[in-house]
Amino acid sequence: MNRAATGGSPTAPRSTLLLVVPAALLGVAIAWALAVPDPVQAEAPVRALADCAGAVVLGLAALPRLHDRLTPPWRPLAALGGLWAATEFVVLAYEAAQVVGVRVTELRAADFGTYLTRVSGGQIGIAIGVGTLVVTGYAALAYRRPERASADPVVVFAAVALVLRPITGHMSQQPLGSVLGALHALAAAAWFGLLVALTLVVRTRGEWAAVLPRYSAWALPAAATVAVTGVCNGLVRVRGLTPLVDTGYGRILLAKSALVLALLLLGWWWRRTWVPRAADHRLTAESSLRRAVGEVVAMAVVFGLAATLAVTA
C-alpha cells in the first residue's frame, strides 16, 4: 500500500513510539501511588515497556490480516523485536532476584542460572525469550528477502510469547482462568498494537479511508473482550467489593477499569465521527494521525497500570 508497508522509511512520525514510553511509565507511576502503602515490584516499568513492545510487534505482524495490501515493515519490526527480547530478559532478572531475595544488581549468575533451570517462572521466561528472539531473527531475515517472507510465523510466536505469563500466573488456578488471561492479553495487544502499526505505515487520506474502518471492526470486539475478561479476572482476584478500595491491587484495578471504560466510550465516539468521515475522504491524513496518536498514548497509560497490576500482591 505504501513504502512503509513494504520496508521503506515511513513518513508518519516515528515519535509515536517514543510517546508510548513516557505514557506507559506514567501509568506505572499512577499505579505505584495508588498502591501505597502496599508493596510494589520494581520490575513494573520494564514489564510495561516489554508488554508495549510485544503488542506493537504483534500489531505490525498482523497488518496483512487487516488489509491484504499491507505488509509488515520488517526493519522496525526487527528492532522492536530486539527491544522486546531485551526488556523480557530484564524482567526475568527482576523475577529471579525477587525469588532469591536480593536486589537485581546483587543477583549472582549462579543464582540466576538456578532460577532459569529449576523454577517454573524461569523456564517460562526462557520460553518467552526464545519466542522474542525467533521473532527478531525472522524479521531481520525477512527485511533482506521480503518477497519470500510471511508474517504468519511472527504472529504465532509473538502471540505465544504474550500469553505465556497470563496462562501460567495466579489466574491459572481458577476455573477457565488461563483462557481468560490469554484472551485478555491477546485482545489488549491487538487493540493497541494494530493502532500503533497504523500510525507507522498509513500516510495518506486514501489509505486511512481504506484501513481505518477495518481496524474499527477489529477494535470493537477486542475492546469488549479486554473489558469483560479484565472485570472477571479482577473480581476473582479481589473476592469482594471491600478490597477494591482497601488494597493497592483493588485501587489499581479500579483505575485501570475506569480508563478502559473511557477508551470504550472514546471508541464509540470515534465510530460515529472519525471513522465515517475518514472513510468518506473528509479528513486529512494528519487529522487521522493525530487522533490515532492520542488514543495510542491513552492506551499506553493503561498498559502501565496493567503491568503494575500484574506484579502487585
- The number of CA neighbours under 13 Å toward the Cβ of 99 is 18
Domain that holds residue 103: 10-307
Residue 16 counted as domain residue = yes
Task: Read off φ and ψ for residue 14, nearest 5 degrees.
Answer: -75, -10
> Whole-model pTM above 0.75?
yes
287 domain-assigned: yes
DSSP, collapsed to helix, strand or coil, labels residue 283 as coil
Task: Give the model confidence (pLDDT) of 50-97 as tens digits.
Answer: 999 999 999 999 999 998 888 899 999 999 999 999 999 999 999 999
**What is the pLDDT at residue 172?**
61
In a domain, 155, yes or no: yes
User: How far is C-alpha 113 from the chain's CA centre?
Assistant: 28
Residues of the chain above pLDDT 70, percent: 92
Number of structural domains found in the chain: 1
Amino acid at 146: P
pLDDT band with cut points at 50, 70 and 90 for residue 234: confident
The residue behind cell 475518514 is 278
pLDDT above 90 (res 235): no
- Residue-wise pLDDT for 283-298, tens only, equals 999 999 999 999 999 9
Q: Is residue 312 situated within a structural domain?
A: no
